[in-house]
Structure 1
């Protein structure tokens, strides 16, 4: 059954980066398989399907990979996710070591597809670029000829995330209020539209 435009708009609004998770409700390997299967069906430049994925659930590899990631650069005094709120799974997105520019677009499409899919099930997802690749590659046994493009931290979402108006200062940094609600300032449609041609 097709979803309505309103439903899809609400899904995109809800699929904010999540950095706090319900650690005692871990995702399973079957859950990760479902997410990657959604990404598998997404568009791919030239239909090359060059990306590969490494799936990690709770355990020693998950713990070590977490230690190799950096979270929420704009929240200078946070230092989390803290114990009890850490991701319970990761998906590592691999790209060919000599892949061209289009592979980066494929990685973005795959990550957004996974983030939207996760949001439909109440799961949180954070796309992470800040990872110690030199240490993560042997940990994850990245195949020869491939490189670690991005890592997605996943789990049952614990934090509330909302869209916020951009303040008068124009500062676009995300922030948390006194109740821990995560606010993400977004520019308006008029500010993003650089031109219009036609009726």
Structure 2
């Protein structure tokens, strides 16, 4: 059921690094991304799959991992992603303002992550990275702009969703056992009702 799939499709930042993700699966998930809605139907997003070990090793230090976990430098050796999908804007295809591509990107990456979750693979959308360095590392053409990096792999952590407490703190956190806690606002809080007719 879609409800169960959405509930378990959580951001994961620690992976079973030595367990590879099959390229055929990665390609299938990019296909799900491709099928998402696109503003003006411009379809300006492109994707690069990165699985080769040397490239993964060089890409990892160019990424920022968890803004709220300031004392955590990111996953350690053995917990790093088994694969990345780099999301690119093809500026030669973008027809409207660049901000439109970000609507496409949200839809596309959610499709991709939902597809991955059906195979027990989870990921992390990373928007904090050194764009110029990633561009050079991947030897991208000038027309491509790096928008997002998806880190993917089989999870090596447990993620728990809970309601935001009375203090309103939305920051995710790790407990003493390494369980990752993600506060979410309640349905009552996010559901805005229209005024009653007079």
Contact 1:42 1:113 in 2 (8 A): yes
CA distance in 2, matches of 1:75, 1:34: 32
Q: Deviations over 1:25-64 (max 9, x none)?
A: 0113222111101111111122221100011003111111
Cα shift at 1:175: 0.9
Partner of 1:38: 32
Q: How many equivalent residue pairs?
A: 193
TM-score norm. by structure 2 comes to 0.91
Match of 2:153 among 124, 146, 155: 155
Q: Could you tell me which of 76, 80, 101 is aligned with 1:82?
A: 76
Aligned to 1:188: 186
The residue that corresponds to 1:171 in the other structure is: 169
- Distance, in Å, in 1 between the alignment partners of 2:143 and 2:78 is 36
| 1:40-79 map, 5 Å | 40-79=34-73
Structure 2 equivalent of residue 131 of structure 1: 129
Q: Report the 3-state secondary structure (helix = DSSP H, G, I; strand = E; otherwise coil) of the residue aligned with 1:92.
A: strand
Question: How many Å apart are 1:73 and its aligned residue?
Answer: 1.3
Compared CA separation, residues 197 and 94, structure 1 to 2 (3 A): farther
Contact 2:35/2:108 (<8 A) preserved: no
TM-score (structure 1 length as normaliser): 0.91
Q: Which runs of 4+ in 1 moved over 6 A?
A: none
Structure 2 regions of 5+ residues with no counterpart?
none
